[in-house]
Amino acid sequence: MSPTHTAGTIELVEPRSGYEGSCRAHGNDGRAIGDILARIGDKWSLLVIATLHEGRLRFGELQGHIPGISQRMLTLTVRQLERDGIVTRTVFPEVPPRVEYELTELGETLFVPARAIADWAVAHHDEIERARTAYDAR
Amino acid sequence: MSPTHTAGTIELVEPRSGYEGSCRAHGNDGRAIGDILARIGDKWSLLVIATLHEGRLRFGELQGHIPGISQRMLTLTVRQLERDGIVTRTVFPEVPPRVEYELTELGETLFVPARAIADWAVAHHDEIERARTAYDAR
DNA sequence: CAGAATCCCAGGGGATACTG
DNA sequence: CAGTATCCCCTGGGATTCTG
């Protein structure tokens, strides 16, 4: 909305003098991070992105590859991602209608760190599991 | 709970034959990923982890470094992270009470990909902003 | 100071039914 | 097929108050 900022580096957390200082200073940049984090961190976005990384898919296929997602949530998720420039939505003027989704360049760049998180989760999930059992038995 | 699985690699998304197959196969591994993703992807965890990466902090300080977090949510977040073995909670037997939080080794390893996501958000947030304005003006 | 307990509300998200 | 529209429940999470 406000193109009035001059870019500049934004630290997630300042060395030790105030996250608030760096993020809140120019108004919306601090929120932008949480904003984007909220998007990619939501229940389905990462799964959609990971699935689409394998190649373009139509709506139904996409849903088939993501067990448990409702039609409604898939629609909403994919619309958000489209709005953010992370996926493209292509409608083919046929009947019955066909719509295909694909990652954009931006989406592909996001896949890299997203994948890193997923890999971390996979690599450490039993370690976490043990930590939980230990904590619960305490 | 069930130590009956033989580890093995878990793919986030199978090359093209079924996310369901790989994840749902052994029962809880598929859910575990979404589970962990949900934890780190929630509204506050990443911020807490990032803040703690700078060094150990007591409750009040932690809250001071994370603008907008309520006492309640900080408590809940930090407890979850403790349960997952990502932070340690040290209570000093003093009066008034002092409690300090610090990242564990595991927590530090999580910080790496977490940081990558945050960096991505920072690096692309104006690109996303433009995509949104474009989409909304469409 | 560091929480635990309660209250309460907005909205996230599932199930279902309808449409172009 | 690929959505949209509703209904409705449940949880996330803020504000406030109480305690060791």
Q: What is the CATH number of the domain that holds B92?
A: 1.10.10.10
Show residues of chain B in contact with A83, CB under 8 Å: 131-132, 135-136
- A132 and A98 in one domain? yes
- B113 and B83 in one domain? yes
Interchain CB contact of B58 with A (< 8 Å) = no
d(CA A15, CA B51): 9
- A46 and A93 in one domain? yes
Give per-10-residue mean pLDDT for chain A (138 aa): 33 40 42 73 89 97 96 97 97 97 97 91 91 92
- For chain B positions 2-41, those within 8 Å of chain A (CB to CB) are 7, 9-10, 12-13, 15-16, 18-20, 23-24, 29-30, 32-38, 40-41
CA proximity to A84, closest of A126, A129, A128, A36:
A36
What's the CA–C1' distance between A60 and C17, in Å?
19
- What's the average model confidence in pLDDT over B116-129? 90
pLDDT band for position B110 (cuts 50, 70, 90): very high
Beta-carbon-side half-sphere exposure of residue B130 (alpha carbons within 13 Å):
5
Chain-chain contact of B126 with A38 (C-beta, under 8 angstroms): no
Give the domain range for residue A107: 42-137
Question: In sequence order, what are the residues at sequence separation of 6 or more whose Cβ sits closer than 8 angstroms to the Cβ of residue A77?
Answer: A42, A44, A45, A48, A69
Predicted model pTM: 0.80
- B133 and B99 in one domain? yes
Residue of higher predicted confidence among A22 and B34: B34
- A82 and A34 in one domain? no
Mean pLDDT for chain B?
81
Residues of chain B with pLDDT > 70, as a percent, come to 76
Please name the residue of chain A whose CA is at the shortest distance from the CA of residue B117: A113
- A8 and A69 in one domain? no
pLDDT band for position B12 (cuts 50, 70, 90): very low
pLDDT of residue A38: 78
- A124 and A82 in one domain? yes
- A48 and A97 in one domain? yes
- B128 and B96 in one domain? yes
Residue of higher predicted confidence among B21 and B84: B84
Interchain CB contact of B138 with A (< 8 Å) = no
CA proximity to A48, closest of A100, A8, A87, A104:
A87
Convert B51-79 to b/e letters by CB count within 10 Å (16 or more is b). Answer: bbbeeebebeebbebbeebeeebbeebbe
Q: Please check the confidence at residue B23 and state whether its pLDDT lies above 70.
A: no
- B53 and B81 in one domain? yes
Neighbours of B23 (CB within 10 A): 22
Which nt is closest to the CA of B42, judged by C1'?
D12
pLDDT of residue B22: 39
- B73 and B89 in one domain? yes
pLDDT of residue A138: 84
- A20 and A55 in one domain? no
How many structural domains does chain A have? 2
pLDDT of residue B30: 56
- For chain B positions 63-122, those within 8 Å of chain A (CB to CB) are 65-67, 82-85, 106, 109-110, 112-122
